Structure 1
């Protein structure tokens, strides 16, 4: 299944929120979904390591870097750690780096752009807070669905069993 989001919009149009933000796909996994864990941080990815070190089974990390692309909030080392801890994907409202390597990894990664510069480590940021990104609310515990068409959010898990019948 390459186009999950159009099918979800057709079936659950009233139950989903579209994130109207153009992001690039950098990870090797193009279709992914999971429960949202949020992190708000600005040009400091110290807390990303802490979060992706935890079990991420069935989860997607949504990092709100306020759209800044001056420093990369995610690179291959953190993505590898996330993959090893079973995270489904990572969304960055900011920049990523090591994108050639990210493309070879079986994890979903979306970001606004690339930047080769790493962040400073100041241990700043807010975890599990409600985010506002592109005039869209992103709540901890939301379900996030992503593919090459973009990102959808839902307050509850959506039944995907109808997709098996279509194949």
Structure 2
């Protein structure tokens, strides 16, 4: 994967959308990018589990978990599946768990925080729709760029 630096991208593309600075980097890959795929769910990670079992093809899974800090929506097993299935990363507007293992996983992971409790599994949620959080709307087909400096959203793949 090409090395990226979001400050350099912001300099080259001053109009690019920038997420509010609310995310923490938990993954073994600190800088990642790819086309956007989305899941919207709340305290139920059934559709996250479904998505990471599918071929990621270098995409970034954007999960609008409603900003919940009452449970984790991604843990070590799902992160390892995502990495093994070719996902570039996960941006979780919610929490993750098993963070020591996540830090060793070959996947970019940004989330609001860590929580030890797992989510429910009721099969609720929706996929592949525009989701809005942290001051930005993510639409499938856009591109996301993330590193320790922040998360950016572009309408198309950028020339870096």
* TM-score of the aligned structures, taking structure 2 as reference length: 0.96
1:47 corresponds in structure 2 to: 47
Question: 1:159 is paired with a residue of what secondary structure?
Answer: coil
- Alignment partners' CA distance in 1, 2:151 and 2:112: 13
- Aligned residue pair count: 159
1:165 corresponds in structure 2 to: none
Is contact 2:33–2:144 with CA below 8 Å preserved after alignment? yes
CA shift, 1:69, in A, is 1.1
1:23-47 Cα offsets, whole Å, 9 max, x none, are 1110010010000101000000011
Is contact 1:32–1:147 with CA below 8 Å preserved after alignment? yes
1:59-82 Cα offsets, whole Å, 9 max, x none, are 000001110010100000000000
Gaps of 5+ in 2: none
* TM-score of the aligned structures, taking structure 1 as reference length: 0.92
2:11 corresponds in structure 1 to: 10
1:96-149 Cα offsets, whole Å, 9 max, x none, are 000000001111000001110011110000101111102321111110000000
1:147 corresponds in structure 2 to: 147
Two-structure CA RMSD over aligned residues (Å): 1.2
Structure 1 segments of 4+ aligned residues over 2 angstroms from their partners: none
- Alignment partners' CA distance in 1, 2:67 and 2:17: 19
CA shift, 1:9, in A, is 0.6
Is contact 2:4–2:32 with CA below 8 Å preserved after alignment? no
